[in-house]
Amino acid sequence: MWVLTPAAFAGKLLSVFRQPLSSLWRSLFPLFCWLRATWLLASKRTKQQLVWREPDETKEEEEDPPLSTTPTSVNYHFTRQCNYKCGFCFHTAKTSFVLPLEEAKRGLLLLKEAGMEKINFSGGEPFLHDRGEYLGKLVKFCKTELQLPSVSIVSNGSLIRERWFQNYGEYLDILAVSCDSFDEEVNVLIGRGQGKKNHVENLQKLRTWCRDYRVAFKINSVINRFNVEEDMTEQIKALNPVRWKVFQCLLIEGENCGEDALREAERFVIGDEEFERFLERHKEVSCLVPESNQKMKDSYLILDEYMRFLNCRKGRKDPSKSILDVGVEEAIKFSGFDEKMFLKRGGKYTWSKADLKLDW
């Protein structure tokens, strides 16, 4: 094959046309071959520059192994039983099972060894089982023996007695009391009513006990169809909780919606815009911590009464195997926990009463 410079090519072409016709083809043929080879080479280079090639999948690349999830903050729903009938409840009384105390302690020790810093006891109503003694023993165990930085409880508050604070208050960092309205008629409509007891008046009493026994006081509210237009600014400021957690009503299949559900929460649901308007109305409340459905759904590590992690990614609660059977590291793989969203929503905060520096 010939390789010619442009000047040499012109000279060669001129000499060709000076030859007799009989030898013209023999002279032009190598030129045509050279032109075709040059064109193919240029075309190949152009394609290499313009076309993105798939990476070679046969070539093994070293990748860092995925990081295991640390159960920094765990919500242990050790009972599903409750004395209230909130219409939107998403952890309903499907069983009456409660682990033996020593088994629950063994599971909590496994969680501590896996990196747990905060435990939150919830239900159902956690003060219902054994009149709060079971709960008190777990609280004391977590603070004195496991030495967790934070031990907290979520309760409707109706069954708490001052004697419980006297026995166990020093071991508890935060008590969160559920209150969805400061209108008692609305509370009854929602399902937070119990005979002659006034939910709002009881909330005031609990606030006083938390101050007297040095427990940080928190309020949880679920915003739904019946309280979305309410203005709670003055009441929240007067109670002055360390945090006011405001949730958007959430549907969970098999719990508060669907065929097997014990509740029908569809009538309580509000839209995102309505939730945002409620937040805007309360923007002056400094302790407000809002949680939309998007933030809440996958950003909690939830442990059920059998100590199984509950995965809510598909809109229902799919349980893992129990940490008592397979250990924390294996069970947590099936938790569906979104650690990035947990941090984004402010899941890690100053949660030890020793660090809160409250003016008791």
* Sequence ranges of the domains in the chain: 73-346
* 12, 122, 315 from 4: Cα distances, Å: 9, 86, 72
- What average pLDDT does the structure give for the chain? 86
Q: How confident is the model at residue 316 (pLDDT cuts 50, 70, 90)?
A: confident
Pairing of the two strands 301-303 and 288-291? unpaired
Q: What is the predicted pLDDT for the residue at 299?
A: 84
Q: What is the pLDDT of residue 56?
A: 47
Q: pLDDT band at residue 64, thresholds of 50, 70 and 90?
A: very low
Grade residue 145 by pLDDT with cuts at 50, 70 and 90: very high
**pLDDT-wise least confident of 54-63, 284-293, 303-312:** 54-63
pLDDT in tens, 163-200: 999 999 999 999 999 999 999 999 999 998 777 788 99
Confidence at residue 63, expressed as pLDDT on a 0 to 100 scale: 42
pLDDT at 196: 77
Active site residues: 82, 86, 89
Q: Which residue has the higher pLDDT, 293 or 150?
A: 150
**Structure confidence by residue, pLDDT tens digits, 26-54:** 555 565 565 565 565 555 554 444 444 44
Q: Is the pLDDT of residue 18 over 70?
A: no
pLDDT band, very low/low/confident/very high, at 90 (cuts 50, 70, 90): confident
Is residue 67 pLDDT above 60, yes or no?
no
C-alpha 182: how far from chain center: 28
63 vs 211: CA distance, rounded Å: 52
At residue 43, the pLDDT reads 57
Confidence category of residue 11, pLDDT binned at 50, 70, 90: low
Confidence of residue 338 (pLDDT cuts 50, 70, 90): confident
Res 66 pLDDT > 70: no
- Identify the residue with better confidence: 346 or 104: 104
Q: Report the DSSP beta bridge partners of residue 316.
A: 253
**CA within 13 Å, CB half, 121:** 31
Report the pLDDT averaged over residues 214-236: 98
Nearest of 85, 83, 167 to residue 128 by alpha carbon: 83
Greater confidence (17 vs 135) lies with: 135
Parallel, antiparallel or unpaired: strands 318-322 and 308-311: antiparallel
Q: With residue 178 as reference, give the H or E element that holds it.
A: strand 174-178
Task: Specify the pLDDT at position 59.
Answer: 40
Whether domain 73-346 has CATH 3.20.20.70? yes
Cβ contact 231:281 at 8 Å: yes
Q: Would you state the pLDDT for residue 68?
A: 73
pLDDT tens track for 256-266:
899 889 999 99
3-state secondary structure of 216: strand
Whether residue 132 has pLDDT greater than 80: yes
Q: Which of 147, 192, 198 is nearest to 173 (CA)?
A: 147
Measured in residues, the chain has a length of 360
Model confidence over 239-275: pLDDT tens digits? 999 999 999 999 999 998 998 899 999 999 999 999 9
